[in-house]
Amino acid sequence: MRPLRPFHRLVPEGGQALIIVVFAMVPMLLIAGLAIDVGFAYKQHRALQASADAAALAGAQELPSATTSQSVAKAYGTKGKNVLSGTATVTENVSTKCLSSIPGCSPVNAITVEESAAVPTFFARVVGIKSINLKAKATACSPCGTKPVDIVLVLDRTYSMCQDSSGNDNGCSELTQAKTGLKTFLSYFDPSTAKIGLTVFPPAPSVSQRCSDPANYSSSTYPYTVVPLSQDYRRTDGSLNTSSNLVSTVDCLKAKLTTWETAYANAIESAQAELDAHGRVGVPDVIVFFTDGAANTGPTYSPYNVAPKNVYRTQPCHQGITSAAASKAKGTIIYSIGYAVTDGGSTGGCRNGDTNNAESPAITPDTTLRSIATVAANYLTTPSASQLQTIYATIAQDLSKGSSSLVDENVH
């Protein structure tokens, strides 16, 4: 009897290689299948995140209305226009909230969209994995200052800004309230898109002396615009940059404590000149004009002291309207703020700077400021200095209306 041959001798050498290849192909195919499943899941996750981003941004356009913003977000989410195909289960949660680091929460200023989906597998089922769970989240704020805009703030710092009902206010609380309002306004805007400058009246002795006592209206060398359009007023964390030219100047400004003289026109013209010189092409120009009293004077140097330029002195309120009209004709949007001016103001109304009589034709500061504004809704007035912060916030919100951006909640 012949002895049995070893098994490996029974299989030809070519057959041995085939067996090895067959056994090796199983894990290789499994690995390839898993790679396909993971790749498909990654693609679906990107689509899920894009859907959440689109829904959050769309919903943010409708803030601060919580109900409307949530409805619009859902219309753009995975349950609406951005349906996620190829998934077994998709869920969506939309909520609104207040991000305290972003000003203007009334009642909400952010919307969050959370999406989750179970993506079915093709090859991983072999090892018992039937689906891969995915999650995506997006938060968008509005208004959050993402619209490009060039703005010049115009501030009245006459003697009356340091007066109260009892007389002198050594703390200049009204000026302090106005300066707080300016800084509140700045906090709404993103320096990467919004350039903001500062014009004052009475003017400064020079730009380098902008923190000194104000000058008067007697020289063409005295500058009204003391800070050009700037973009360094906020830090990357959203806080105001107190060392910036703009914020530090707002903090250090003084009132003119020796005169009640108020002139609108040249300050408006200086603000417009800054927008013309340093504003960006295709970007909206805006002037935000604040005063607490009626115009009652104008420049005393030539040619403003002779006709026809002497209307700057003899009709200072009417000339303020004319100067504003020239800006508006260029497309500049003007907001006007009147503090305690509806009854004629502390000076009793618009006056001829040469005679101190009522300006002719007669006009009130309330009518003047209403006419200076681009539209009636752009004129805001208050009898209380404590409301100036709210008024500046209202204007900032109006300028930022409809602007939205995605935010990282870990930062905000």
What residue segments make up the domains of the chain, in order of their start? 13-141, 149-404
Average pLDDT (290-300) is 94
Least confident of 20-29, 154-163, 223-232: 20-29
The vertex-235 CA angle with 231 and 238, nearest 5°, equals: 110
Q: What is the mean pLDDT of residues 303-321?
A: 96
* % of the chain with per-residue pLDDT over 70: 83
For 59-75, letters b (16+ CB in 10 Å) and e give bbbbbbebeebbebbbe
- What spatial distance separates the first Cα and last Cα of the chain, rounded to whole Å? 89
Provide the token pair at 51.
Answer: 């859907």
pLDDT value, residue 347? 46
Confidence of residue 401 (pLDDT cuts 50, 70, 90): confident
Helices (H), 77-189: 173-186
pLDDT at 102: 77
State pLDDT tens for residues 371-381: 999 999 999 99
Least confident of 24-33, 145-154, 245-254, 300-309: 24-33
**How would you classify residue 256: left for phi > 0, otherwise alpha for psi between -120 and 50, otherwise beta?**
beta
Q: What is the pLDDT of residue 331?
A: 97
Q: Residue 184: what pLDDT? A: 93
User: Quick one: pLDDT at residue 15?
Assistant: 53
If you average pLDDT over every residue of the chain, what do you get? 86
- How would residue 7 be classed by pLDDT, with cut points 50, 70 and 90? very low
Q: What pTM was estimated for this model as a whole?
A: 0.77
Instruction: For residue 344, count other CB atoms closer than 10 A to its CB.
Output: 16
- Mean of pLDDT values over 85-108: 81
Buried b (16+ CB within 10 A) or exposed e, 28-53: eeeeebbeebeebbeebbebbbebbb
The string of pLDDT tens digits covering residues 33-86 is 566 667 777 888 888 889 899 999 999 888 888 999 999 999 988 777 777 776
What confidence score (pLDDT) does residue 163 get? Answer: 77
Q: CA nearest 341: which of 371, 368, 359, 360? A: 368
State residue 132's pLDDT score: 81
**What's the confidence (pLDDT) of residue 238?**
80
Q: Could you tell me which of 335, 382, 379 has the C-alpha nearest to residue 153?
A: 335
Is it true that domain 149-404 has CATH number 3.40.640.10? Answer: no
Question: In whole angstroms, what is the distance from residue 132 CA to residue 135 CA?
Answer: 10
What is the rounded average pLDDT of the residues 344-363?
82
Among residues of the chain, what percentage have pLDDT more than 90? 56
Burial of residue 137 (CB within 10 Å: 0-12, 13-18, 19+) is middle
Please give the residue that has the higher pLDDT: either 349 or 182.
182
Provide the pLDDT for residue 345: 46
pLDDT at 216: 94
- The least confident of 55-64, 123-132, 188-197 is 123-132
- SS3 helix, strand, coil % of the chain, rounded to 5? 40, 20, 40
State residue 387's pLDDT score: 93
More reliable by pLDDT, 249 or 349? 249
